[in-house]
Amino acid sequence: MANFENILGIETSCDETAAAIVVAGKTIRSSVVSSQIDIHARYGGVVPEIASRAHVELLTPVVAQAVVEAGIENEEVDAVAATYGPGLIGSLLVGVSAAKALSLVWDVPYVAVNHLEGHLYASFLEEPELELPLVVLLVSGGHTQLIHMKGHGDYDVLGSTLDDAAGEAFDKVARYLGLGYPGGPAIDALAMEGDPEAISFPRAMRNDGLDFSFSGLKTSVVNHVRKNPDVDAADVAASFQEAVADVLVAKARRAVKQVGATGLAIGGGVAANSRLREAVLDACTEDGLQAFLPSRAMCTDNAAMIAAAGWHRLHSDGPSRIDQGAESSVRL
Ligand code: KG4
Ligand code: ZN
């Protein structure tokens, strides 16, 4: 098989329009992320129809910028990888169609990438020597999963959320507290000024299995604020964040022990959370585990992680068929 060097990654699964050039699944030559946050903020969340229209407008200049910043010519792109799911179907279609068109025009392979697999590969971009097997705590706006990464492309899902994803809980609580969208970074910032022990919010299923549940916690926050209208919002944010981090870390530690892994990595937008990062580091130090915390830019949606996962997919499975389309709800 050819040695696909320069992979163009394209990511449009939600509200970031992103493109990147990554060499051999490891070295980032460019990573451009154009966020649509300002477009959606006034609606308090992502509006799917507006997101797909914005991707149509933004994708061409974002791809061009990624190629220019990488210092290569279009002819030097060896393959095009795009997120095909999970995500918003209209948004996914924009990236997938563009990737297929470029692969046909440039006569290079197209590879369809699972967005969740992309998040798993974010750690490898910054720690190329990362050793498998590994447990990855994948926490984003749409997913909360504990994954046993046994080898490249070889995963067991050990636990998942039964209701809300961790990021969804951050976004819903932030909206209730009037902190706007996106909620995760807003709660993270406000929590810095609050007391994480001020309110003892419930830790659902903390000591029970590897699945998660966050909808009860969200309801508890709402009930607490209703009963105590003068409560300090910073204390609510810090106590809520503490409860989420506590459950995530307790389960991740249990998962690592259960499968006998030696390392724990985190990924997905919520992995950018300051308190979660601190708690993961503390737990790994205490348990003698290697901790892998991608930079914040690699935790949230980007195309470099898609290019990296695409490179591994190309080498394991070869190119995707050109009729491999977008799918809104694929699993890992
Ligand atoms: O991975 P991501 O960028 O997109 C999805 O694939 O969902 O994750 C977005 C989620 C949002 O729910 C956002 O509020 C959350 O990640 N998030 C955070 C932080 N930064 C982003 N949650 C907590 N603390 C943060 N600092
Ligand atoms: Zn994501």
Quick: pLDDT tens for 33-73: 999 988 998 888 899 999 999 999 999 999 999 999 999 99
Q: Are residues 210 and 158 in contact, defined by beta-carbon separation less than 8 angstroms? A: yes
Residue 276's nearest CA partner among 226, 303, 238, 316 is 238
Tell whether ligand 1 has an atom less than 6 A from the beta carbon of residue 269.
yes
- CATH of region 6-121+299-317: 3.30.420.40
* H or E stretch at 60: helix 48-70
* Residue 301 pLDDT exceeds 70: yes
Ligand 1, pocket-test mutation among 140, 242, 278, most atoms within 8 A of CB: 140
Tell whether ligand 1 has an atom less than 6 A from the beta carbon of residue 294.
no
Q: Are residues 58 and 32 in contact, defined by beta-carbon separation less than 8 angstroms? A: no
In this structure, the residue with its CA closest to atom 21 of ligand 1 is 269
Nearest ligand to the CA atom of 118: 2
228 CA to middle of ligand 2, Å? 35
Both tokens of 83, joined, read: 């997120």
Note the pLDDT of residue 42: 87
Task: Please tell me what DSSP assigns to residue 320.
Answer: P
The upper half-sphere exposure of residue 131, i.e. CA atoms within 13 Å in the direction of its Cβ, equals 5
What residue spans define the domains of the chain? Answer: 6-121+299-317, 130-296
pTM score > 0.85 for this model? Answer: yes
pLDDT digits (tens, 9 = 90+) for 127-175: 888 888 999 999 999 999 999 999 988 999 999 999 999 999 999 999 9
Q: Would you say how long the chain is, in residues?
A: 332
129 CA to middle of ligand 1, Å? 26
Task: Determine the Cα–Cα distance for residues 149 and 25; give it in Å rounded to an integer.
Answer: 17
Averaged pLDDT, 196-206 = 96
Query: 130-296: what CATH class?
Result: alpha beta
Start-to-end CA distance of the chain, whole Å, equals 25
Tell whether ligand 1 has an atom less than 6 A from the beta carbon of residue 86.
no
pLDDT digits (tens, 9 = 90+) for 248-271: 999 999 999 999 999 999 999 999
Tell whether ligand 1 has an atom less than 6 A from the beta carbon of residue 141.
yes
